[in-house]
Every structure is written in structure tokens, then in C-alpha cells.
């Protein structure tokens, strides 16, 4: 068959007109017509394009001795066929293996694979616990974001570990059983070509020989390669994520190192911190290098990497020692280190169902002054350079709550200036912990008794007598409500619960504690 006739046949098989083929080859329709009429031959580059379009070989196309053109399989299709054939061959060999084994050998095989599977499950649970510990360390992440990160990480881990476990089990099964069985059958095939399987067992295996379990080969099955590629692909995506995350961490460490170096003139503490940051940056660069080499499939300079890692750990260890030794000369302070101690003072009249609350678990002094009449004086000390105090009125379950709030209005410049000043005196202060101190409520004895009586309806507290009054320490809430989306109304002053939803049922439970009775309301919808 001539070239032109083959071209016509291929073009029609693929449903192409002369114009469409000419457009694909970037030639005129007349050129295609001349080729098909065997008047002219296309140039070599056009013949190659024709072979690629119709998936045939050049020899099939231009050799007139070949009458039928076989379709050329692409490398991907051949690879896919090999994978499918490998999987089907694995199933056939597995079935044949189990049908030729004694029952006790089958039990041994299943028991061995079961033990390996159990070990893989245990290892997976250990890794899962480690992963959970790592995700819990993301305390700075918002709850919703943490939830999605945790679930995503867990899902990816179980997917990857399941695929790895399947690969391990199948590969062990192959090298422990299938490889030997394959060799065994090759040795006996020549004797059972013309007889049935039943007759072959009688002739070749007169004593019903068992399939011996031993390791013989360690080649992998072709169909396992696709599972391995999935695992490697997932691991690479995770590596890319950690690579980007690591770059941000290194950037943060470099910025911290610059700041720490600028503070070394004020305190020896930051000499150790600077050295430690340098060691962490060096170790981070090594991790980035290893991740990058894995992603790009580059060869790792193992000797250099090991030496660099050891040096990084040595630097970090020395820095830790220097930092710990510097602590002996440092004085740490928190809320008592006021820059400018100021007194907050507020006078308010007493109202029915009123109590004084604070945003923190401060001890509050209630001092008796019968000259106050119906007025209440609230005072406290705070640091005006870092904080602002405000008394806010709120309604809490039908009671009037007066809350003493402390707002931090710290400016970065103020913190830095104070920090430098403290360093000169070997002092480190947690400026974010500067709260309210010496909260005092001064009123007549009658008003104080009313305030504390109202306070006892909301909180369980400790009251200690002091000179001319009481010292009250805030405790836990006296009433706990679990409404579970039920519509309810609660009056805490009279301890009265009103259920607004007919389908809802509320149960009351009273617990006796060392500070008093604690009431728990549990509401739920009736079935």
C-alpha cells in the first residue's frame, strides 16, 4: 500500500477532512490532495507531524511493503497497561497461591500479615498522638482556624499512612510468598502443560508439597508504583508548605536577632539570646536545605549537613548556658512595677439588686464608713502609662452589676523606653500583666451588707474580717445554666427560672461546696 492510500485511510479513520488535516499541518488543502494522490511526498518534519497525529510509526507510513498500520501506543498508555496488567497478575497469583497452600499455611500467612497490620496500626496511632500534640501547640491560632488545620492534618496523615501501610503489607506478602510461588511454578510448568491441574497435583506433587515460606526477591509490583507516587506527591506538598512556613520563621528569627544584638549593650542576657537565635537560624537553614533538596530531587551533601547540624546544636547549647547564667543578675517583676502609680476614685449611689464586680480575680477590700450614707466610694491603683480604668454598669440576670474594667492602652514606644530603662537596672517587667491593685469599696455597714448579700447570689466567695471591714476574694459562679438552645428566662436575685418553650424541660441540681451551695440548671428538649 502506497503512502497516499495509507494517508487517506488514516485520515478517514480519525474523521478528518483534507481541510482539517491541512490546518493541523499548517499546509494548504492542495498539498494534502497531492500527497494522497501519490504525486508528491511531504517533507520529513511533516511526516513526523502526521505520525504524531495518527499515532503510528514513520516506517509504517512510508514503507510500501507494510499494508496494515498498527496504532502506536504512547509511553503513558504503555505504562498504564503495565500497571493494570501487574495488578491483575497479582490477583491471579494470589488466588493460585492460596488454592495450592495447605490450610495451616494459609492461617500462618494471614496471622503473619495480621501481626504486621497490627504493628502498622500501633505505629500510626503513635504518629497520630504526636501530630495531635504538635497541633495543640498552635495556641495562638483562632479556634475555627485551629479546628480546620487539625482536621486537615489528621485527614492527610490517615490517607498517607493508609497508603504506606497497604504498600508495606503487599510488598511483604510478595517477597514472603508470591516470589517463591512464582519460581516454584516455573520449575513445575514444564511437566503440567498437557494435563489438568488435578492430575498435575497428583503427578508433580504426589506428597502434597507445601509452598515454603522464604524471602527470595525484593522487586516491587508495578501497580504499587502509582500508590508510591501518590504518597510522595502528598509528602512533597506538605514539604512545600513547611518550606514556606520555615522561610517566614527564619525571617522572624533574623529580625529578632537584629533587635537582640541592639540590646546587648544594655544586658549580658541578650548576648546569650543573640547567640541562640544565630544557632536557630543556622539550624533552620539546614532544614530548608533538606526540604528543598527533597522537593527538587537534588543530592544532599550528607557530610556537610551533619557537621552543620552538630555545630548548630553546639551553638544553641552554649547560648542556653550563657542565658541561664545571666538570669542570676536579673530581677523579674509583674504588676507591682508601676511606672506611675495613680489612684482611681469613683462615687456612685446604691441601687436595688446591685453588686460590685471586677474583670480579674482581685481581692477587694470592703471598708465600713457610716458617714457615706447611701453613697459608695470605689477606689483602686493602676499604672496610667499603660492602663485605663472604667466603671461600667450592666444587667446580669435581673441584677445591676458594676464592673471595674482595666483597659491596656500601651504604646510600643512607651514599652521600649521603659524596657531599656529597666535593663539598665537588671530588671525585666511583664508590662502586659500590669493590672489593678488595692481595689477598695467604702460604704456604710448597711450598704456593704446589701452589696455582699447581692454578690453572694452571683458568686461563691471567701470573706475574711479585717480592721474596719472585710477582705473578699472572688470565687466561681454560684449558678451554672446549660440551656442547650432552649428559650428560658432566669431571675438570679430570686432564683426563679422561667421556661419559655413548651418543648423544653429544665432540671435543677444543687451541689454542696466548701464556699456554699452551687446550683446547676440543665435544660433540654423533650423527645
Q: What is the pLDDT of residue 317?
A: 92
Q: Mention every residue, 6+ apart, whose C-beta is less than 8 A from residue 57.
A: 51, 70, 72
Whether the predicted pLDDT of 376 surpasses 70: yes
6-15, 132-141, 151-160: which range is least confident on average? Answer: 132-141
Q: What is the mean pLDDT of residues 480-503?
A: 86
Percent of the chain residues past pLDDT 90, beyond the cut? 15
29-33, 73-77, 204-208, 224-228: which range is least confident on average? Answer: 204-208
Q: What is the mean pLDDT of residues 239-249?
A: 87
Whether the predicted pLDDT of 324 surpasses 90: no
Tallying the residues shown for the chain, one arrives at 527
In 3D space, the residue among 351, 310, 353 whose CA is nearest the CA of residue 455 turns out to be 353
Three-class SS state of 179: helix
Q: What are the pLDDT digits (tens) for 13-69?
A: 777 888 888 888 888 888 888 888 888 888 888 888 888 888 787 777 777 666 666
Quote the cell numbers at residue 480: 451554672
Distance CA 203, CA 451 (A): 103
In 3D space, the residue among 190, 183, 259 whose CA is nearest the CA of residue 423 turns out to be 259
- Cell 453572694, located at residue: 456
| Residue 492 · residue 401 · CB < 8 Å | no
In 3D space, the residue among 370, 363, 375, 380 whose CA is nearest the CA of residue 466 turns out to be 363
Q: What is the pLDDT of residue 145?
A: 64
Q: What is the pLDDT of residue 474?
A: 81
47-56, 145-154, 500-509: which range is least confident on average? Answer: 145-154
Q: What is the mean pLDDT of residues 355-381?
A: 86
Residue 519 DSSP class: E
The confidence band for 203, taking pLDDT boundaries of 50, 70 and 90, is: very low
Q: What is the CATH number of domain 3-72?
A: 1.10.260.40
Better pLDDT: 299 or 197: 299
Q: What are the pLDDT digits (tens) for 245-268?
A: 889 999 999 999 998 898 888 887
- Cell 478517514, located at residue: 12
Distance CA 404, CA 156 (A): 48
Task: Output the CA–CA distances (angstroms, integers) from residue 50 to 29, 40, 124, in the order listed.
Answer: 15, 15, 53
Whether the predicted pLDDT of 372 surpasses 60: yes
Report H helices in 264-378: 269-296, 302-326
Q: What is the mean pLDDT of residues 429-441?
A: 74
Three-class SS string for 456-515? HCCECCEEEEECCEEEEECCCECEEEECCCCCEEEECCCCEEEECCCCEEEEEEEEEECC
Residue 327 DSSP class: G
Distance CA 74, CA 409 (A): 69
Q: What is the pLDDT of residue 285?
A: 93
Q: What is the mean pLDDT of residues 410-415?
A: 68
Q: What are the pLDDT digits (tens) for 390-410?
A: 888 888 888 888 888 777 666
Three-class SS state of 231: helix
Q: Mention every residue, 6+ apart, whose C-beta is less than 8 A from residue 235.
A: 160
In 3D space, the residue among 56, 59, 54 whose CA is nearest the CA of residue 25 turns out to be 54
Which range is most confident: 68-77, 85-94, 139-148, 343-352? 343-352
Q: What is the pLDDT of residue 202?
A: 43
Q: What is the pLDDT of residue 207?
A: 45
Distance CA 96, CA 94 (A): 5
Which range is most confident: 355-364, 369-378, 472-481? 369-378
Count Cα neighbours of 101 within 13 Å in the Cβ-side half-sphere.
21
Give the number of other CB atoms < 10 A from CB of residue 516: 13
Q: What is the pLDDT of residue 453?
A: 92
Distance CA 59, CA 65 (A): 10
Percent of the chain residues past pLDDT 70, beyond the cut? 78
Distance CA 283, CA 286 (A): 5
Distance CA 119, CA 125 (A): 10
Mean pLDDT of the residues in the chain: 78
The confidence band for 383, taking pLDDT boundaries of 50, 70 and 90, is: confident
Distance CA 525, CA 485 (A): 9
Residue 189 DSSP class: G
The confidence band for 216, taking pLDDT boundaries of 50, 70 and 90, is: very low
Q: Mention every residue, 6+ apart, whose C-beta is less than 8 A from residue 512.
A: 518
Better pLDDT: 414 or 461: 461
Domain ranges of the chain: 3-72, 79-222, 236-329, 341-475, 480-525
Amino acid at each position: 500500500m502506497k503512502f497516499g492510500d495509507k494517508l487517506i485511510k488514516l485520515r478517514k479513520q480519525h474523521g478528518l477532512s483534507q481541510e482539517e488535516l491541512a490546518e493541523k499541518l499548517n499546509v494548504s488543502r492542495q498539498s494534502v490532495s497531492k500527497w494522497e494522490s501519490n504525486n508528491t511526498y511531504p517533507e520529513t518534519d511533516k511526516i513526523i507531524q502526521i505520525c504524531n497525529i495518527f499515532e503510528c510509526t514513520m516506517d509504517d507510513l512510508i514503507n510500501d511493503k507494510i499494508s496494515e498500520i498498527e496504532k502506536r501506543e504512547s509511553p503513558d498508555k504503555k505504562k498504564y497497561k503495565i500497571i493494570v496488567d501487574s495488578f491483575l497478575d497479582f490477583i491471579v497469583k494470589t488466588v493460585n497461591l492460596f488454592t495450592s497452600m495447605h490450610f495451616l499455611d494459609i492461617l500462618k500467612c494471614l496471622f503473619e500479615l495480621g501481626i504486621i497490620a497490627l504493628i502498622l496500626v500501633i505505629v500510626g496511632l503513635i504518629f497520630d498522638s504526636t501530630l495531635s500534640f504538635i497541633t495543640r501547640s498552635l495556641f495562638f491560632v483562632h479556634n475555627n482556624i485551629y479546628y480546620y488545620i487539625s482536621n486537615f492534618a489528621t485527614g492527610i496523615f490517615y490517607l498517607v499512612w493508609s497508603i504506606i501501610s497497604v504498600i508495606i503489607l503487599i510488598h511483604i506478602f510478595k517477597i514472603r510468598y508470591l516470589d517463591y510461588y512464582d519460581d516454584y511454578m516455573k520449575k513445575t510448568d514444564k511437566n503440567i502443560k498437557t494435563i489438568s491441574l488435578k492430575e498435575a497435583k497428583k503427578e508433580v506433587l504426589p506428597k502434597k508439597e507445601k509452598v515454603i515460606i522464604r524471602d527470595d526477591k525484593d522487586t516491587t509490583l508495578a501497580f504499587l508504583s502509582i500508590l508510591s507516587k501518590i504518597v510522595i506527591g502528598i509528602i512533597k506538598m506538605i514539604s512545600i508548605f513547611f518550606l514556606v512556613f520555615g522561610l517566614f520563621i527564619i525571617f522572624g528569627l533574623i529580625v529578632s536577632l537584629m533587635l537582640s544584638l541592639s540590646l546587648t549593650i544594655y544586658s549580658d542576657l541578650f548576648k546569650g539570646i543573640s547567640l541562640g537565635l544565630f544557632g536557630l537560624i543556622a539550624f533552620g537553614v539546614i532544614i530548608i536545605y533538606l526540604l528543598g533538596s527533597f522537593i527538587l530531587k537534588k543530592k544532599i551533601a550528607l557530610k556537610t549537613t551533619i557537621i552543620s547540624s552538630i555545630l548548630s546544636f553546639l551553638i544553641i547549647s552554649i547560648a542556653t548556658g550563657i542565658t541561664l547564667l545571666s538570669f542570676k543578675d536579673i530581677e523579674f517583676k509583674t504588676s507591682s512595677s508601676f511606672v506611675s502609680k495613680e489612684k482611681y476614685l469613683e462615687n456612685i449611689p446604691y441601687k436595688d439588686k446591685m453588686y460590685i464586680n471586677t474583670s480579674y480575680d482581685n481581692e477587694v477590700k470592703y471598708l465600713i464608713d457610716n458617714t457615706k450614707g447611701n453613697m459608695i466610694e470605689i477606689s483602686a491603683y493602676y499604672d496610667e502609662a499603660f492602663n485605663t480604668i472604667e466603671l461600667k454598669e450592666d444587667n446580669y440576670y435581673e441584677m445591676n452589676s458594676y464592673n471595674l474594667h482595666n483597659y491596656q492602652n500601651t504604646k510600643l514606644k512607651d514599652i521600649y523606653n521603659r524596657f531599656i530603662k529597666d535593663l539598665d537596672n537588671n530588671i525585666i517587667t511583664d508590662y502586659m500583666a500590669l493590672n489593678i491593685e488595692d481595689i477598695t469599696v467604702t460604704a456604710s455597714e448597711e450598704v456593704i451588707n446589701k452589696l455582699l448579700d447581692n454578690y453572694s447570689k452571683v458568686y461563691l466567695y471567701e470573706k475574711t474580717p479585717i480592721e474596719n471591714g472585710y477582705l473578699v476574694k472572688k470565687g466561681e459562679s454560684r449558678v451554672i445554666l446549660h440551656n442547650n438552645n432552649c428559650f428560658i428566662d432566669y431571675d438570679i436575685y430570686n432564683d426563679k427560672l422561667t421556661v419559655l418553650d413548651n418543648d423544653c424541660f429544665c432540671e435543677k441540681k444543687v451541689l454542696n461546696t466548701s464556699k456554699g451551695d452551687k446550683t446547676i440548671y440543665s435544660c433540654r428538649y423533650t423527645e
